[in-house]
Amino acid sequence: MRLAATAPPPDPDSALPAAPLRPAGAASAGASPDVSEAASFTEWKTLVSDSFVPLEATPVHPGTRHFAGRLTGRRLRELAIVQVDAMAHRVERTPGLISGGGDGFYKLSLQMSGRGVLLQGGREAVLEAGDLAIYDTGQPYTLSFEADFTTLVLMFPKQLLGLSPEDMAEMTAVRLGGGHRLGRAVVPFLTQIAGMLPELDGPIGHRLALNTVDLLSTLLADEAYARPGAGSGGHERTLRRVQHFIEGQLANPDLSPGYIAAAHYMSTRSLHKLFEDSGTTVAAWIRGRRLEGARRDLADPLRNEVPVSAIGTRWGLPDPAHFSRVFRAAYGQSPSTYRLRR
C-alpha cells in the first residue's frame, strides 16, 4: 500500500458541489441539521443528485406507486455527513454523469438498517447493518436497496484520505465492519456520529468530521496491509515503512533524504530510486504531506489565534518566507490570505 504521492491539489473547498443538502426554499433553524424529504420518486431523483453528485435513480419495484425518502445531514465545509432513510431503490453513477463533474470525492456508507449491495471496480459488497464500504465518485458504481433502509454517508475530497489512487482502486466496494479488528471501533464511532447530527455544527463539527476521515484512513490502511499478497515484494514493504516513518517526522525541520536513508540503513541513492519507482520524489512527497497538514490547520477556526509562522513550524516549515512560497505554489495564495478567505 502507498500513501498519496502527488503534489497537493487545489484547495478542496473549491471543489465542493454547489447544491445544498436541502431543496431550495427549505429552511433549517438554529443548530438543527438540514432535513430534506421527498414524497415521490421524481422528487427523490432530484434530491439525491443535488445533495451528493449527479446520480441516476431507478425504483427496484417499478409497480410501487408510493415512495418516501429523507436526508438528514450536515455540510461541514469540504465534507458532508448525511443520514439517508428511504424505500427500496437503486442509484447509479454512470460514465456520462462522471464526465459532468463531481469526480473528486470518496463516499463512505455505513449500513444502519436494511441491506445494500454496492458494485464498483468489478467487486460486489453486500452490506448488512453494521457494515461499511467506500466508493469513488470518479468511477462508475451502482448501489441497490431491495427494501426500506437507513444508511449514513460521509462524502469528502479524495486528498483528505492521504492514500494513493492505486491503493484505493483496490479498496472500493470492499465490505468492512464489526468483523474487522479496527472496524469494531470505527463502526460504533460512526453510529454515534449519526446520533449527533443535530449537534454537528461550526468549527467543532468540522474538526470532528476531519477526525472521522483520519480514522477511516487508518482503517483502510490496515485493511490494505492485511490483504493477501499486500507487501509481498520487498520494494513495496520498504516504501511503506519509509512513508510511515516520514509521516511521524513531518514536524522535524531536519527531515531530509540523508536523515531518512540513515534511519533505514540505506544509501540516499537507493532512497531516491525507491520513490522514483512510485512516480514521485522524496522531497515532493514530504512537501505535499506537510502542506496538506498546514492547510487543514489554517482552515480550522479553532486555530485562528495561532500565528501563521507557528503553523508552518508545526509542519516542519519554520522559514516563513519558504513556507509562504511553497504554499502559494500549491494553493495559489499565501497562507495568510488562505486563512482570511476561510
pLDDT tens track for 71-89: 998 888 888 899 999 999 9
Q: Between 340 and 221, whose confidence is greater? A: 340
Give the pLDDT band of residue 29 (cuts 50, 70, 90): very low
* 144: Cα within 13 Å, side-chain hemisphere: 11
Backbone torsions φ then ψ of 3, nearest 5 degrees = -80, 160
Distance CA 243, CA 251 (A): 14
**pLDDT band, residue 227 (cuts 50/70/90):** low
Calpha distance 282→258 (Å, rounded): 11
Q: What is the pTM of this model?
A: 0.70
Indicate the pLDDT class of residue 22, thresholds 50, 70 and 90. Answer: very low
Percent of the chain whose predicted confidence (pLDDT) is above 70: 86
107 against 249, higher pLDDT: 107
Around 290, how many Cα atoms within 13 Å sit in the side-chain half-sphere? 26
The alpha-carbon radius of gyration of the chain (Å, integer) is 21
Q: 282-309 pLDDT, tens per residue?
A: 999 899 989 989 998 998 888 889 999 9
Residue 264 has phi, psi (to 5 degrees) of -115, 15
Per-residue pLDDT at 245: 84
pLDDT at 82: 92
Does the pLDDT of residue 235 top 70, yes or no? yes
Q: What is the pLDDT of residues 302-330, one digit of tens each?
A: 888 999 999 999 999 999 999 999 999 99
Q: Residues of CATH 2.60.120.10 domain(s) within the chain?
A: 12-226
Q: For residues 187 and 124, what is the distance between their CA atoms, to the nearest angstrom?
A: 20
Cα–Cα distance for residue pair 307/29, rounded to 1 Å: 34
- In this structure, are residues 277 and 235 in contact, taking their beta carbons and an 8 Å threshold? yes
Look up the CATH number of domain 12-226: 2.60.120.10
| Choices 3.30.465.10, 1.10.10.60, 3.40.190.10, 1.10.3720.10: CATH for 234-341 | 1.10.10.60
Write the single-letter amino acid at 268: T
The residue among 107, 110, 67, 73 whose CA lies nearest residue 90 is 67
CB-CB contact of 327 with 335 (8 Å): yes
Residues in the chain: 342
Rounded CA separation 299/205 (Å)? 13
Q: Compare 288 and 234 and report the one with higher pLDDT.
A: 288
> Residue 341 corresponds to which amino acid?
R
- Domain(s) labelled CATH 1.10.10.60 in the chain stretch across 234-341
Q: Could you read off the pLDDT of 141-194 as tens digits, one per residue? A: 999 999 999 999 999 998 888 777 777 888 899 988 766 677 777 888 888 888
Res 43 pLDDT > 90 = yes
Judged by DSSP in three states, 177 sits in strand
d(CA 147, CA 30): 33
Q: Are 332 and 301 in contact (CB under 8 A)?
A: no
Q: Which range in 49-63, 122-136, 180-194, 208-222 is most confidently predicted, on average pLDDT? A: 122-136
- Asked whether residue 204 carries a pLDDT value surpassing 90, the answer given is no
- The answer to whether the beta carbons of residues 21 and 36 sit under 8 Å apart is yes
Cβ count within 10 A of residue 130: 18
Residue 12, pLDDT score: 52
Report the pLDDT value the prediction gives residue 229, as an integer from 0 to 100: 53
At 237 the pLDDT is: 67
Neighbours of 207 (CB within 10 A): 16
Q: Which of 137, 250, 153, 135 lies closest to 209 in space, CA to CA?
A: 153
What mean pLDDT, rounded, does the chain reach? 83
Return the residue matching grid coordinates 492521504: 162
Residue 19 banded pLDDT, cuts 50, 70, 90? very low
